[in-house]
């Protein structure tokens, strides 16, 4: 059996007196797309804060490629909820931000992202400021900024939640296409059931706070995932099962 | 076709002219009323000179006014440069060491409560009639607004951007340079515009308290010679100086913050 890329083992976390995470265990294999789905305020984003070292767990262990997650390694590239593009930097300079922080020279960084600019549909907009771009383009730029950091795993924090429904659907299709091509190991946090089913290999469903994982769904649907009637019917079945779990996390046995 | 294109290109200019037109009309009306009052009431020009007289005197004494405006401008710019550098360095120190802010800000606030009329002669008494007391006084009145603007600008940085930099492994200084400093620029320029309007007045105050040359001492002499027309001529020159400096800050802001311009229609 291969060593999982990421393992969380019985993680608990609290902010002061507030229990945010009660018991989180999950694994992500290399090249997998995994989603964490839960109601608003369940502590989904807290899991990312734990991974990116801005919050410490109260108990439990985290391992990356079999080694305990410590200060020394930084295997994650993080994409925040709003695009967090810097309004004072041109698109090309926003995209190379992570490389610049790593100490790579500006020209070299631009060369590195040059080929991907086109693939991400940003060609011709490199020298525009973010304010001139549409919401979908800004998200593509934010994702490009995330992937060019060449980290081992992507953390996507509700990346499409601020977009209108049509743009969001388009972005999901596009993201799946890109993922199939590059096979990034990725973890997505979302409260959009359809989005999670469309993009994921596996979904962990969280309970309301203090969060624990109430159920795990493997998504056996074939890739690329279509939006035709047959594919939709199969997806809808899983979506309904997930919704049931979300609405009734105790599985019918009320306390 | 060609004419339409030209018309469209000129549209923003015309719009801008339309925007400043009311201000010009109001100003013109004010001066017209003043002129009419002086002529109809027959008031003595040694009490209230008419605007036309002030203008003609400004022209007649242009050489003297120019010679006196230069030292004032030099004092203003030197004092402002000192103040700008001090505000910038201190804003960084205060941003990195929060207790320093709690220790120093009360002192700076008190410095803003001091009446200039009392402080100006004292500073001249301590530092003589040269350039130094003027520089210090200009710095005293312009320093605090810029420091506050910078400090607030740093604090207004988007938290998601800072968090993102943190996940990228950026050091504290890197986060400051890449996120906090550029975030503060709009605030800084707002503070700069407030400061620059005080700067010339500060220099004139210092000269009024004692100087060999400058608009301040020119005003004092004109007043003592019962020449309100020349006092107002010097006031007119100092207003023009301030407006020019104000315009310069707008120009610099455009150059430093090109992203703040309105995005062009249609993306590209």
CATH number at residue A163: 3.40.50.300
Cβ separation A101–B174 shorter than 8 A: yes
Among the residues of A183-219, which ranges form H helices? 193-199
Token pair belonging to B127: 């530092």
**B222 part of a folded domain:** yes
Q: Same domain for A40 and A116?
A: no
Helices (H) and strands (E) in chain B, counts: 11, 0
Q: Which of A151, A177, A197 is the C-terminal boundary of a domain? A: A151
Q: Same domain for A126 and A180?
A: no
Q: Which residues of A fall within a CB distance of 8 Å from B267? A: 125, 128, 132-134
Q: Same domain for A164 and A253?
A: yes
Give the pLDDT confidence score for residue A163 in this predicted structure: 84
- Is the pLDDT at A145 greater than 90? The verdict is yes
Q: Same domain for A207 and A158?
A: yes
Nearest CA in chain A to B181: A88
Pairing of strands A211-218, A202-206: antiparallel
Q: How far from each other are the two terminal CA atoms of chain B, in whole angstroms? A: 22
Give the pLDDT confidence score for residue A86 in this predicted structure: 94
Number of domains in chain B: 1
Residue A161: pLDDT band (50, 70, 90) is: confident
Q: Print the domain residue range for B250.
A: 60-259
Q: Taking the C-alpha atoms of A95, A101, A103 and A104 in order, what is their torsion angle to the nearest 10 degrees? A: -10
* Mutation target vs A (from B159, B160, B167; most A CBs, 10 A cutoff): B167
Which candidate, A250, A82, A109, A171, places its Cα nearest to that of B158?
A: A82
Q: Which of A151, A178, A202 is the C-terminal boundary of a domain? A: A151
What is the rounded average pLDDT of the residues A8-28?
A: 87
- CA B256 to chain A, closest CA, distance in angstroms equals 10
Q: Same domain for A45 and A111?
A: no
**A179 part of a folded domain:** yes
> DSSP characters for A14-69?
EETTEEEEEEEEEEE-TT-EEEEE--TTSSHHHHHHHHTTSS--SEEEEEETTEE-
User: Residues of chain A with pLDDT > 90: what percent?
Assistant: 25
**C-alpha span between B69 and A179 (Å, rounded):** 67
Q: Same domain for A111 and A157?
A: no
Nearest CA in chain A to B266: A132
Token pair belonging to A185: 């190991």
**A25 part of a folded domain:** no
- CA A232 to chain B, closest CA, distance in angstroms equals 35
Give the pLDDT confidence score for residue A228 in this predicted structure: 83
What is the rounded average pLDDT of the residues A43-57?
A: 84
- Residue range B100-155, pLDDT digits in tens: 988 998 998 898 888 888 888 898 899 988 889 999 999 999 999 999 999 999 99
Q: Print the domain residue range for A163.
A: 30-55+152-255
Size of interface A-B (CB pairs under 8 A): 63
Number of domains in chain A: 2
Nearest CA in chain A to B158: A84
CA distances from A52 to A48, A56, A75, A184, B24 (A): 6, 10, 9, 18, 57
Which candidate, A51, A81, A186, A73, places its Cα nearest to that of A142?
A: A81
Which residue did the predictor score with more confidence, A107 or B4? Answer: A107
**C-alpha span between B71 and A67 (Å, rounded):** 69
Give the pLDDT confidence score for residue A1 in this predicted structure: 59
Q: Same domain for A126 and A158?
A: no
Low-confidence residues of chain B: pLDDT under 70: 1-11, 262-268
Give the pLDDT confidence score for residue B265 in this predicted structure: 43
**B1 part of a folded domain:** no
Cβ neighbour number for residue A188 with a 10 Å cutoff: 25
Beta bridge partners of A8: A26, A62
Contact of A22 with A58, CB cutoff 8 Å: no
CATH number for position B105: 1.10.3720.10
Pairing of strands A18-28, A211-218: parallel
Tell me, rounded to whole angstroms, the distance of Cα A239 from its chain centroid.
19
Q: Which residues of B fall within a CB distance of 8 Å from A76? A: 167
Residue listed under structure tokens 């492994």: B169
**B154 part of a folded domain:** yes
- Name the residue among A87, A125, A134 with its Cβ closest to that of B259: A87
Judged by a CB distance cut-off of 8 A, whether residue A58 touches chain B is no
Cβ separation A88–B182 shorter than 8 A: yes
Q: Same domain for A251 and A176?
A: yes
- Name the residue among B163, B178, B263 with its Cβ closest to that of A131: B263
Q: Same domain for A157 and A147?
A: no
**A239 part of a folded domain:** yes
**B43 part of a folded domain:** no
Residue listed under structure tokens 């999670």: A196
**C-alpha span between A177 and A171 (Å, rounded):** 10
**B7 part of a folded domain:** no
Q: Taking the C-alpha atoms of A222, A223, A228 and A229 in order, what is their torsion angle to the nearest 10 degrees? A: 10
User: Residues of chain A with pLDDT > 70: what percent?
Assistant: 97
Which candidate, A32, A42, A37, places its Cα nearest to that of A193?
A: A37
Judged by a CB distance cut-off of 8 A, whether residue A98 touches chain B is yes
Judged by a CB distance cut-off of 8 A, whether residue A78 touches chain B is yes
**B33 part of a folded domain:** no
Q: Same domain for A232 and A193?
A: yes
What is the rounded average pLDDT of the residues A232-247?
A: 86
Q: Same domain for A181 and A140?
A: no
**B231 part of a folded domain:** yes
Which residue did the predictor score with more confidence, B264 or A96? Answer: A96
**B137 part of a folded domain:** yes
Q: Which of A151, A184, A201 is the C-terminal boundary of a domain? A: A151
Contact of A24 with A8, CB cutoff 8 Å: yes
Q: Which residues of B fall within a CB distance of 8 Å from A86? A: 161, 178-179, 182
Residue A78: helix, strand or coil by DSSP?
Answer: strand
Q: Same domain for A172 and A143?
A: no
Judged by a CB distance cut-off of 8 A, whether residue A101 touches chain B is yes
Residue A121: pLDDT band (50, 70, 90) is: confident
**A71 part of a folded domain:** no
């Amino acid at each position: 059996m291969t060593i999982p890329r990421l393992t969380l083992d019985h993680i608990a976390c609290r902010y002061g007196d507030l229990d945010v995470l009660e018991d989180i265990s999950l694994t992500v294999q290399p090249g997998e797309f995994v989603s964490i789905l839960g109601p608003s305020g369940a502590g989904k984003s807290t899991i990312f804060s734990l991974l990116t070292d801005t919050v410490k767990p109260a108990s439990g262990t985290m391992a990356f490629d079999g080694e305990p997650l410590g200060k020394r390694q930084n295997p994650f590239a993080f994409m925040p909820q709003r695009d967090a593009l810097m309004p004072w930097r041109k698109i090309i300079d926003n995209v190379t931000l992570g490389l610049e922080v790593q100490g790579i020279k500006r020209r070299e960084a631009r060369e590195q992202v040059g080929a991907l600019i086109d693939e991400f549909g940003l060609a011709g907009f490199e020298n525009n400021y973010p304010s001139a771009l549409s919401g979908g383009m800004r998200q593509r730029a934010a994702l490009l900024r995330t992937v060019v950091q060449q980290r081992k795993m992507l953390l996507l924090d509700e990346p499409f939640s601020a977009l209108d429904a049509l743009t969001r659907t388009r972005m999901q299709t596009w993201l799946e296409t890109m993922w199939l091509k590059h096979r990034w190991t990725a973890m997505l946090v979302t409260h959009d059931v359809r989005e999670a089913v469309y993009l994921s290999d596996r979904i962990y469903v969280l309970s309301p706070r203090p969060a624990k994982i109430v159920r795990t769904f493997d998504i056996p649907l074939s890739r690329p995932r279509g939006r035709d009637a047959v594919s939709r019917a199969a997806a809808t079945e899983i979506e309904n099962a997930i919704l049931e779990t979300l609405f009734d996390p105790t599985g019918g046995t009320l306390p | 076709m060609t004419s339409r294109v030209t018309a469209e290109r000129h549209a923003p200019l015309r719009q801008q002219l339309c925007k400043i037109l009311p201000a010009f009309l109001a100003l013109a009306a004010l001066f017209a009323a003043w002129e009419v009052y002086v002529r109809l009431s027959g008031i003595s020009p040694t009490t209230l000179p008419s605007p036309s007289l002030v203008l003609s005197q400004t022209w007649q004494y242009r050489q003297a006014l120019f010679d006196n405006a230069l030292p004032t401008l030099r004092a203003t710019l030197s004092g402002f440069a000192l103040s700008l550098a001090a505000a910038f360095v201190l804003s960084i120190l205060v941003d990195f060491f929060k207790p320093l802010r709690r220790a120093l800000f009360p002192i700076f606030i008190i410095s803003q409560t001091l009446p200039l009329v009392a402080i100006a002669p004292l500073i001249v008494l301590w530092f003589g009639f040269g350039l130094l007391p003027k520089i210090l006084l200009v710095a005293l009145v312009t320093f605090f607004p810029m420091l506050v603007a910078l400090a607030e600008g740093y604090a207004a940085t988007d938290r998601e951007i800072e968090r993102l930099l943190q996940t990228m492994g950026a050091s504290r200084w890197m986060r400051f340079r890449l996120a906090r400093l550029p975030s503060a620029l709009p605030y800084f320029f707002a503070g700069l515009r407030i400061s620059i309007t005080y700067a010339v007045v500060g220099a004139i105050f210092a000269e009024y308290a004692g100087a060999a040359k400058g608009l301040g001492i020119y005003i004092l002499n004109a007043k003592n010679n019962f020449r309100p027309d020349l006092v107002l001529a010097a006031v007119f020159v100092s207003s023009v100086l301030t407006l020019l400096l104000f315009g310069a800050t707008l120009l610099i802001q455009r150059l430093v913050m090109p992203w703040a311009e309105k995005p062009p229609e249609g993306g590209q």
